[in-house]
Each structure stands twice: as structure tokens, then as C-alpha cells.
Structure 1
Amino acid sequence: MAVTVETLEKLERKITLTLPVSAIAAEVDVRLKRVARQVKMDGFRPGKVPMNVVAQRYGYSTQMEVMNDKVGEAFNSAIQEAKLRIAGQPRINEKEGAPEGEMHFDAIFEVYPEVKLGELSAVTVEKISAEVTDAAIDKTIDILRKQRRTFAQRPADGAAQESDRVTIDFEGKIDGEPFQGGKAEDFQFLLGEGQMLKEFEDAVRGMKSGESKTFPLSFPADYHGKDVAGKQSDFLVTLKKVEVANMPDVTDELAKSLGVADATVAGLRADIKNNLEREVKFRLLGRNKQAALEALASQAELDLPNASVQAELDRMIEGARADLKSRGIQDADKAPIPDDVFRPQAEKRVRMGLVVADLVRANNLQATAEQIKAHIEELASSYEKPADVVRWYYSDMSRLGEVEAVVIENNVTDFILSQAKVTDKAVSFDELMGQS
């Protein structure tokens, strides 16, 4: 008999499943006999428990188990016959009024939508590019030098300057009263590196060892300490020690200390350039991929399955709770997080996933084994033992699946850029890296 599929609303469908009571009863009988051979009860030898006793104890649970299995089989058979791609799990309820000898069930579910892709030739995608400049290499070298700087105490009459390390005692008060976290002794920080609020650094800058100073400080409204956020305070600070930073010179010795294979300044710069170019490549790929995918999604027409959106919402909320837990928040797993917080992002993700999947199917953009291998080898190339990294990826199907997803997205990006109108835009290294 052909399956009748009823459209309820947009992507929601309903089919009626029919199960013969005799088939259910026969399977229940088979399973109860299997149970009887294994069950142990007081007063009976193993395997000798009467069937009426077994049925009395296990009949109901076995009946429910068989019905669930048979309904599931009937549903799967029906959707295969109707060639439906369902989204999420069906809601199945027994219907009343079925003819004698039959049981009827209504299965209500959602199907994946038909995706109407727009003309990519009408889409404009901004593709960015960036280069690793000498200035970017110099900046990276300065960061490495800072990581290896040493400190020497300034003379007693030496005032605290930018980049100095200072050791202080301080105590803050609000309305004349001390507050939690507002007092410390032998506290160290580096001037000019944003470790302290600007007003605090400005007050300490120019002080000399042994000096004390009282100054007002306004906590920002968005300050992480909620008890003092937005409040006016007064601080007493005593400067105990000022140390000047000594940065190592850019020499072959620095290159050697950093473990560069070619332990020369030229070798150091070449090594840094190679690493930065690899990072630039991946960042450009990510930014251009996002621009291409958003352009694709903007042209598509489709309805979103509520089941898929809800599943994505549940994943995002679970992820948010896990993040809160990692930050030490008590009862994070019970934190009330409304769906509305993540709904726009969840809908965007589901929409993007459906559109990409449709484009992949329509244009055979699946990842090949050669592409996956090449991508893994590129990822491994930055490690000391690339072969071990390659084996690590191939030893786990979930890791391989993650690589496959990335390769498919790359294929989709290349396809979109080959079809769309592309405008090129050069951005600076700092802009790409999100540096000021």
C-alpha cells in the first residue's frame, strides 16, 4: 500500500502507521519465551519459571518494547517508501477507533526543505588579501625580545617610566571604607602594558622609590568587579622598587636561544616570516570563506526545520553552560539560559548548513581522499614531527570528519568565488590579525 503523506504546515508532515495486533502479540510471545529461559525467581529452578508467571512480571514492559520497535520499523519503512528526508525525531501517538485486529499511529515530523539557490553570478563577494611585511616581522621579534627581557633596579632617584617594572603597596577605599580586592603588598606590574587601569598607571608613572601618593580613581561601569563597577574610589600607593627593562639585542645569539635551525638573524627573520605567512594564509581563508558562504546564504530561499533549530539551540546552550562551569560558576549546568539568547545564531547556522549541503550535492563538491590527505599534511607541516601528526588525524574517525568538513567548505568557497563577482581588497597585516 502506498504511503499517504499529509502536509500540515510548511515543513511539517503526517503519516498514519498501521500495525497488525497479531504481529505484535507474536513478537511479544517470542521475547517472553526468551526471557523465561534466562530469568531467575525464588522457588523455581532456572529456566523452569511458568510462562504465566513470566508474563505477569514482564508482559507489560515487553509489550511496550515490542510496540516501540514495531512502530519505529513501520515509520522507517514508510519514510523510505515516500522518499522523505526527515529533520529531527517524529512525534508518534496512537489513534483511537482502529478496526479490530489493528493498531493505528499518527507520526508527525518535519522534512528538510527544498533549497532554492539564487544565481551566484549576481552575487558580489569581497575577497581580501594581505602580506607579511618587514614591520610585521620586526613586531614579532620585539614580542620575542620582551618575553626574554631582564630587569635591573633603577637608582633611588630614578622615576618610574614606560616599560619599567614597579613594585608597590596599595590600598583603595570607597566612601572611606576598604573594599575586597582593594589592598595588596609587594604587587608588581609593568607600566604601559595595560595591566592596570589607566588612571592607576598615570598616578604611578613618575614616582620614585620610597614615595607615597593618594589619588582618586573611577572604576568603569563595565569593570569586571561588580561590587566596585562605576564607583569613585581613593587609593594610597607606595612605590617600593623601580626596575628598568633590558631587552636582548637582535643577534645570532638571540636566534640560537629561540631554537631556530639557521641560528642567524637572517634565519630568525626567515623562520618568523614562514610562520606568519602560514597564519596569514589560514586567516585569509577563514575570512574569505565566511564572506563567500554568507553571500551564498543571502541568495537562498528556504524554510527552516524547527527541529534542526532546536537541536542547534540545545547544543549552544549546553556549550554555554560548559563554559560557565569551566569558569568556576556554581550550578552552571542548571543556569537558566533563554532560547532567545542564541536563536538568531542558531537559525543562521542551520540555514548555512542546509544551503551548503544543497550546493555540495548539486555540484559534486564532496571532499576527496587526496584533498583530505593534502590538508592534513599542511596542518602537520608546522610541527616538529609531521608524520606523527598525520597518524594522529588518521587514527580517529571524528578527527577525520572534522578535516573533511573543512575541505568541503573550502571546495564550496572556491566554487562560489569562481561563479560570483569578486572584488579584491588589500588589508594590512595588523588589520587581518586584529591588532591595533
Structure 2
Amino acid sequence: MPMQVTETRSEGLKREYKVVLPAGDLASRVENQLNEIRAKAQIKGFRPGKVPVAHLRRLYGRSIMAEVMQEAVNDANRKIVEDNALRLAGAPRIDLAKDEAELEKAFAAKADLSYVVALEVLPKIEVGSFDDVQVERLVADIPDSEIDDNVKKLAERNRPFTAKDGEVVAETGDKVTIDFVGKVGGEVFQGGSAEDVDLVLGSGSFIPGFEEQLVGLKPGEERTINVTFPETYGEASLAGKPAEFAVTLKAVAAPGELAIDDDFAKGIGFESLEKLREMLRASLDREASLLSRRKWKRELLDALDKKYTFDLPEELVTREFDAIWRQAEAELKASGRTLDDEGTTEEQERATYRKIAERRVRLGLALAEIGDSAGVKVSDEEVAQALYERARQYPGMEKQFVDFYRGNPERLAEIRGPLFEEKVIDYVLGQSKVADRHVSKDELVKLVEEAEKAAEEEAQKSLGPAA
């Protein structure tokens, strides 16, 4: 008797099928495997190929039946998917009968194996056209004066310095070499001490107020400097706190002349000053383009999020939410803060991240469908290039990094996925109505920051007071 499959549920994206695998079919599969083993088995007391099947059944029957059942279930799942032309959103879930006696009978091939397979399918998405999608693309015009400023900054970083001899004191513009030990609340803090540090006074490289207090110091002299870390300091445990540094001045060097010419450019690896300027312009253009992309990409994704409405696979949303929630918990723990400190509750945060998860899943499915319908592909060469770019962030371990990713298909998909998404986004942009607006670099930065702040506020507002 052939396998029996009956659909028992079809609601939204959820499907359930009752499957009956005949005992005779399972027994036949077990018998075939036992005969294969019999032909090869070498068991003490029996000649090769002459081991009784009954003896092999006692030795291996139960483990073989487990393999047979798993294989039969996999075959049934494939048949259900193929016969019904389903696109699964996740792995099938198998619900076996809870009656252990019935299961044991099926395991002994004395009764049919009956179970329910629950599936969740991907929604059908009508891609349509993008004539209704409008995007403003900011284009930053980089003036020659900004190139000049960047050349000067580069020249300043490469300015020659000559050691001062005799009775000298440190002045603004000098390069000093110092040792220092920093304390907060009378205790030395991690990262607050160093030796033989070069610092150009007036460069603004250190905490505000630090460099000014070194002016007038002589080589060999010590001074205690009192400063306060900015409220926006990167290390939260130090932000806004007063600190004192015991500083020893070891050497003072005076700045040399700053010549901005072809010789200067050649000294830092360029053919000429013009080639250096070309590199800087290309770099600034690329930086502005990436900044602009942040704004128009969000607008484009917002438009697609509103454009497409379809049921979301619960499994995909839950999986995305769990990943976001784990990351949020880890970041909160690392900062040493609690939700109370942040002025929120777990219920509110879960509601926020649930909406984020739903948006990501909706956009992910929509972009995947758009890309497939448009024939968007990511070549192996593009993946390899992106992989090597990422590997460069780990100097000395590039080969291990590349080998690890190439040996893990799931990890490699983490690189291919974003490349595919960016290609699809560029494709949609090409099919949409795009209005370019020329702005200055400062305007670009301001507009991007304002747009991101407004988007964050709108996201919070959309949750409502009961979130």
C-alpha cells in the first residue's frame, strides 16, 4: 500500500498534512538494508555473506528502522512540497503520535506510522512596477577649498619636527613626547596610562584642556593635569568624570616648514600633488555618496514597506525577533544598564523589536522576490572580493578567516545576502522616480542626521501609548 497524504489544514500561510507510512513499506526497506549488510558483514562465528538475517535484525534492526523512518519521513516531506508546489518558510515540524505503544508497534513494523507534518509557506508577492516610488537623492558638491583643507591636514600630519636643544619649554605647535598615568577618583583606570607618546600641542588630539596645560613645561619636568572627560566620551564609565594625569615631559621638537608641493606628495607615495588631490576628491565623493545612500536607501525601503502588504511567516518573524532581542540584551548587559535606567519596560522593548522584526522580514521577502523576478545575481567573484575585503580587517589571520567562511555555507551566505540586497535596491532605484538635489557636504551631513532622527522618532510614535 502506498504512502497516504491528506491535507488537514490550510489557513493563511500554515499547512498541515496527515501522513501514513505503511508498515509493510517500512518493513520492506528494513529488509533491503539488512540484506545489504548481510552481503558485507563479517561477524565472528559466521562465514562472510552467511550471517542469518534474523541475527542481523537482533543486532541492527532497531537502529536501521530509525534510519528507515527518518528517510521515509524526508521522502514524504519532499513529495508534499513537490506535489503542492510549496515554497517553505522554514523546516517542516513533525508531530508523532503521543501513544508510546502505537509508536513502538510502528517501530517494530507491526503497525503503520502515522504523524502530522506542519508547514509554513512563503507568501505570494506580486512585484508590480515601481512608477509610484519617489526618491530624493542628495548629491554633495565638493568645492576645491575642501580639497585644499584636506591637503593641508595631510601635510600637517606629515610635518617635519626638529628636536629643541638647551633650555627649552613646550609651546603650542611643538611636538612633545610624554609619559602619563591617569586616575579617576584616585584610582588608575584602564587605558589611562602610556609611555613615549608623541603629541602636537594644539592639535586637539587629547581631552579638552589637556594639551594647554603642557605649555611652558620643560623636558624632564613633571606636572599634574586636571581635566574632565566630555559627557559624550566614548567610554561610558568615564564620560563626564573629572580626572587627573601625572605627566612627565621627556622631549620637545619644533615644527619645521610646511611645503605643499610635488615633493611633499611624492614623499607620501603619490606621483604629484595633482594626483594626491585627485585621490582626495575621489575619497570625499565616495564618502558623500555613501552618506547620501543612507538617506535615500531608507526612503526607498520605507516606500517598499508601505507598498507591499502580505501575511508574514510567523517562524521567520520569531527567528528575527529572537536574534534582535538577544543582541539588545547583550548590549544592555555590556553597558551595565537596565531597562529601568533607559526609562522603558521589557513589554515596550519587545513591542518595539517585534515591529522591527516584522519590517525586516517583510522587506527581506519583498527584495528577494524583486531580485528573483529581475534576474539579479551575485557572482562568486563578487562574493570572493567582499570576503577578502572583510578578511583585511584581521591582519595576519586573513587565510584562516577566508578558509573558515569558505568551509561554512551559512557564513558565506552572510556575505552573499547583503550583496544581493544592495543590487536589488540599486535595481529598484533605477526603476523609480529619482530627483537629484545638489547640496554642500555640511548640508548633506545635517540632512542625513535629521532624517535618521525623524525616522527614529516616527518609529517610536507608531508603537502608540500602549506599546
Q: Is the shorter-chain TM-score for this pair beyond 0.5, marking a shared fold?
A: yes
CA 1:293–1:175: 2 relative to 1, 3 Å: closer
Write the distance in 1 (CA, Å) between the matches of 2:180 and 2:294: 46
Matches within 5 A, 1:17-416: 17-95=19-97, 102-115=112-125, 123-154=133-164, 156-162=167-173, 164-174=174-184, 176=186, 182-193=192-203, 195-205=205-215, 207-219=217-229, 231-246=241-256, 248-260=258-270, 263-277=271-285, 280-281=288-289, 284-285=292-293, 287-312=295-320, 345-360=356-371, 364-367=373-376, 405-415=421-431
Aligned counterpart for 1:425 among listed residues 430, 437, 452:
437
Deviation, 1:348, is: 3.3
Contact 1:132 1:429 in 2 (8 A): yes
Deviation, 1:180, is: 5.6
CA 1:253–1:44: 2 relative to 1, 3 Å: farther
Gaps of at least 5 residues in structure 1 are 328-337, 380-395
Cross-structure match for 1:331: none
Moved more, 227-236 or 121-130: 227-236
Write the distance in 1 (CA, Å) between the matches of 2:262 and 2:329: 49
Contact 1:3 1:81 in 2 (8 A): no
Deviation, 1:21, is: 1.4
- Kindly provide the CA deviation profile for residues 172-216 of structure 1, in whole angstroms up to 9, marking residues without a partner as x: 445555556555444333445554322433433454545443343
- Kindly provide the CA deviation profile for residues 364-394 of structure 1, in whole angstroms up to 9, marking residues without a partner as x: 422279xx79999x99xxxxxxxxxxxxxxx
Please, what is the CA RMSD of the aligned residues?
4.5
Moved more, 166-175 or 217-226: 217-226
Write the distance in 1 (CA, Å) between the matches of 2:156 and 2:440: 23
Write the distance in 2 (CA, Å) between the matches of 1:173 and 1:33: 78
Residue-pair matches, total: 395
Write the distance in 1 (CA, Å) between the matches of 2:278 and 2:29: 73
Write the distance in 2 (CA, Å) between the matches of 1:213 and 1:61: 78
Contact 1:160 1:208 in 2 (8 A): no
Letter in 2 for 1:426: H
Gaps of at least 5 residues in structure 2 are 335-345, 387-405, 450-467
Contact 1:119 1:299 in 2 (8 A): no
Letter in 1 for 2:247: V
Contact 1:151 1:244 in 2 (8 A): yes
Write the distance in 1 (CA, Å) between the matches of 2:257 and 2:118: 70
- Kindly provide the CA deviation profile for residues 299-331 of structure 1, in whole angstroms up to 9, marking residues without a partner as x: 3223322322344467778999999xxx9xxxx
Write the distance in 1 (CA, Å) between the matches of 2:292 and 2:51: 71
Contact 2:312 2:358 in 1 (8 A): yes
Normalization by structure 2: what TM-score?
A: 0.68
Contact 1:12 1:109 in 2 (8 A): yes
Deviation, 1:166, is: 2.0
| Percent of aligned pairs sharing the same letter | 31
CA 1:191–1:55: 2 relative to 1, 3 Å: farther
Letter in 2 for 1:111: V
Write the distance in 1 (CA, Å) between the matches of 2:79 and 2:179: 76
Write the distance in 1 (CA, Å) between the matches of 2:216 and 2:50: 95
Letter in 2 for 1:350: V
- Kindly provide the CA deviation profile for residues 33-62 of structure 1, in whole angstroms up to 9, marking residues without a partner as x: 222333444444544433223222221221
Letter in 2 for 1:295: A
Write the distance in 2 (CA, Å) between the matches of 1:281 and 1:293: 18
CA 1:408–1:241: 2 relative to 1, 3 Å: same
Deviation, 1:26, is: 0.8
Write the distance in 2 (CA, Å) between the matches of 1:248 and 1:277: 26
Contact 2:367 2:421 in 1 (8 A): no
Deviation, 1:27, is: 0.9
